[in-house]
Structure 1
Amino acid sequence: MSGILDSVNLRTQMVGQNRLELLLFGLETEQQYGINVFKVREVLQCPELTEVPRQTSAIKGMAHIRGETIPVLDLSEAIGRSSVPQSERNKCFLIVAEYNKRTLAFLVRQVDRILNTQWDQIMAPPTEIGVENYLTAIFEHENKLIEILDVEQILADLYPMSTDVSREVANEEVRERAKQHHVLIVDDSSVARNQMQRSLEGLGLKVTSANNGRIAWDLLCGMADRGVDVLDHYLMIISDIEMPEMDGYTLTAMIREDPRMERMHIVLHTSLSGGFNVSMVKKVGADGFLAKFNPNDLAAAVVSRIGQLEGRN
């Protein structure tokens, strides 16, 4: 167990080059699941939890960890499986993670090991399984499929968020100007795409979405090959960082290497926490960085870009 903890601490310092490291864990069956190590703050044996009065969700209590009180989410129950009996919690583990500026601890049955791979080895789930699930990607390892859960969807169901943009950020005049522009959003999480799309369309923008960097890259190249000026077509690209097949860092780097689109305005966004994000954004040549998900921050980035264009005209 201490080896996994040491690995988490060391590997959260690694970033970039389409690389991914997954912390593998198990719930109530033999199926293995994975979580991006970059999201993980630490792994520890489940301590005694402080119960939550009138608890009606998968939040099972609170843990006091290193001076911080952190809500504990039973991940099995959150995805519709059997919850961990209270008598067995002391045999389980907590994966303390940060998503969308929120720190939570995921209660899991077991923590296995860390796998080092590439985002281009991570596959989107087959479309035949439909959209009503918590699966965002799959990964084949040793002839078994490891499932990567859409934690953003799980948290959105627990903590519904408004997608409305404040009038102080975008007044009627700004919204009218926004109607002239088109934005490309790239994210493998359906909930993240829907949140962004509702916010941006609420401003009056036209929105095109892509499920990962590879799809976005193929879209842009196809347009450019047909003679479409993608810089004129899209106001900007807003892309997630961690995605199957091609991550946001790689997408940005490839756009910067293509003279037909190298001046595209790109903002990267992620639920990952940590100072490395800003440095990597600069390294790959992106124009900005946003933490997920705040509709006003998202709108402010778009309004700023519109202002830049108008200032040059």
Structure 2
Amino acid sequence: MVGQNRLELLLFGLETSQRYGINVFKVREVLQCPELTEVPRLTTSVKGMAHIRGETIPVLDLSEAIGRRAIPAEEQRKCFLIVAEYNRRTLAFLVRKVDRIFNTQWDQIMPPPAEIGSENYLTAVFELDGKLVEILDVEQILADLYPMATDVSEEVADKTVRAQAHEYHVLIVDDSAVARNQMQRSLESLGVKVTSANNGKQAWDLLRGMADKGVDVEKSFLMVISDIEMPEMDGYTLTAMIREDTRMQRMHVVLHTSLSGGFNVSMVKKVGADGFLAKFNPNDLASVVVNRISQVRESQ
């Protein structure tokens, strides 16, 4: 599916008839909920730990995490665990039911309506059988449960780099508001100027519009750092379109994703990206930008 703007979603349900979706590539396995081991915790939505295939994995009640009714302890064994990998962390989501795998196109996946505001856990929606399926912003959910630092270590960027950083401009592309904010805070702490786009289509429209006005896009941006999975246009397709346009085909593009797995490195090369970055570590992100600044300065 790489470069074809396609994805597969695992559909599941919580406490109502509303259906939700999660990218299949994030899912390691689905199983009946085993007996959980309770642990002292700061948040009640973490229900305990499950011992699965030699690993001890935290279990998150997804209903409670998004502000809905928690699944009672006596009903947990009737529910399912979706074991997934996000941002270098393996965890299991406790859900009421698992439906099926649905194959679709990213251009059929739409951002949530702006009218619902920003205080929600939705990252996208799509229509199936006359009803809306909601794709949850799991990164926002996890960020609320496990806040992450965005400070960049002095060892990654010294005073010399920080003094030069203000000369450079980075375009970041991500459908998750929390991911955009994390990246923006980290890069701005370096002194780099940042422009953000909510998905690949918005980024492409920006780049193409600048090029149509005669702007040298390759010189305007130090690099593009784009998420892979986004509504309307994914990062693979965005990269392929940049490479096909002679006005910007030499732009430095790094794809990043919360998807774990070794396949990512080879896949980003197939579409012509210059690198791959796993979400989210501020020092790793800063290192990619600092290295690119060094490359540019050495070539001048």
- Give the shorter-chain TM-score range: over 0.9
1:294 to 278, 281, 284: 281
Alpha-carbon distance in structure 2 between the residues aligned to 1:260 and 1:293: 31
Matched, 1:44 2:16: no
Instruction: Output the aligned Cα RMSD.
Output: 0.8
**What CA distance in whole angstroms lies between the structure 2 residues aligned with 1:254 and 1:167?**
36
- Deviation of the 1:72 alpha carbon: 0.0
Q: Distance in 1 between matches of 2:159 and 2:38?
A: 47
| 1:130 to partner: Cα distance | 0.4
Distance 1:54 1:126 in 2: 35
Deviation string 1:28-85 (CA, Å, 9 cap, x unpaired) is 0000000000000000000000001255331000000000000000000000000000
- Note the residue ranges of structure 1 that are not aligned, 5 or more in a row: 1-13
| Residue aligned with 2:206, SS | helix
Contact 2:43 2:145 in 1 (8 A): no
Q: Which residue of 2 aligns with 1:26?
A: 13
Once the two structures are superposed, what CA deviation does each residue of 1:180-201 show, in whole Å capped at 9, x if it has no partner? Answer: 0000000000000000000001
Whether 2:45 is the aligned partner of 1:67: answer no
SS at match of 1:111: strand
Q: Deviations over 1:137-180 (max 9, x none)?
A: 00101110000000000000011000000000001111111110
**Equivalent residue, structure 2, for 1:251:** 238
The match for 1:7 is none
Identity over the aligned pairs, expressed in percent?
81
The question of 1:119 aligning with 2:109 is answered no
Give matches, 1:141-156, under 5 Å: 141-156=128-143
CA distance in 1, matches of 2:96, 2:224: 39
- 1-side partners of 2:42 and 2:267: how far apart? 40
Structure 2 partner of 1:173: 160
Question: Which residue of 252, 267, 271 maps to 1:280?
Answer: 267
Q: Structure 1 segments of 4 or more deviating over 4 A? A: none
CA pair 154-86 structure 1, distance change in 2 beyond 3 A: same
Equivalents in 1 of 2:191, 2:78: separation in Å?
Answer: 52
DSSP 3-state at the match of 1:52: coil
Query: Contact between 2:3 and 2:240, CA under 8 Å: does it hold in 1?
Result: no
Who is 1:226 aligned against? 213
- Determine if contact 2:186/2:286 at 8 Å carries over to the other structure: yes
Name the count of aligned residue pairs.
300
Letter aligned with residue 43 of structure 1: V
Query: 1:24 & 1:16 partners in 2: Cα distance?
Result: 23
> 1-side partners of 2:64 and 2:296: how far apart?
48
Change (3 A) 1:86 1:254: same
Structure 1 counterpart of 2:12, one-letter code: F
1:193 is aligned to 180
Task: Report the TM-score, using the length of structure 2 for normalisation.
Answer: 0.99
Q: Is the 8 A contact 1:24 1:113 kept in 2?
A: yes
Question: Conserved in 1, the CA contact under 8 Å of 2:111 and 2:231?
Answer: yes
Structure 2 portions without partners, runs of 5+: none
Partner of 1:3: none
Equivalent residue, structure 1, for 2:94: 107
2:63 and 2:169 map into 1 onto residues whose CA distance is 40
Indicate conservation of the 8 Å contact 1:57/1:158, yes or no. Answer: no
For residue 60 of structure 1, what is the amino acid of its counterpart?
K
Q: Give yes or no for contact 1:15–1:276 (8 Å, CA) kept in 2.
A: no
Q: Distance in 2 between matches of 1:201 and 1:187?
A: 17
Aligned to 1:259, what secondary structure does the other structure show?
A: coil
Q: Distance in 1 between matches of 2:197 and 2:299?
A: 29
Kindly provide the amino acid, as one letter, of the partner of residue 185 in structure 2: R
Task: Give the C-alpha shift of residue 16 in structure 1.
Answer: 4.2
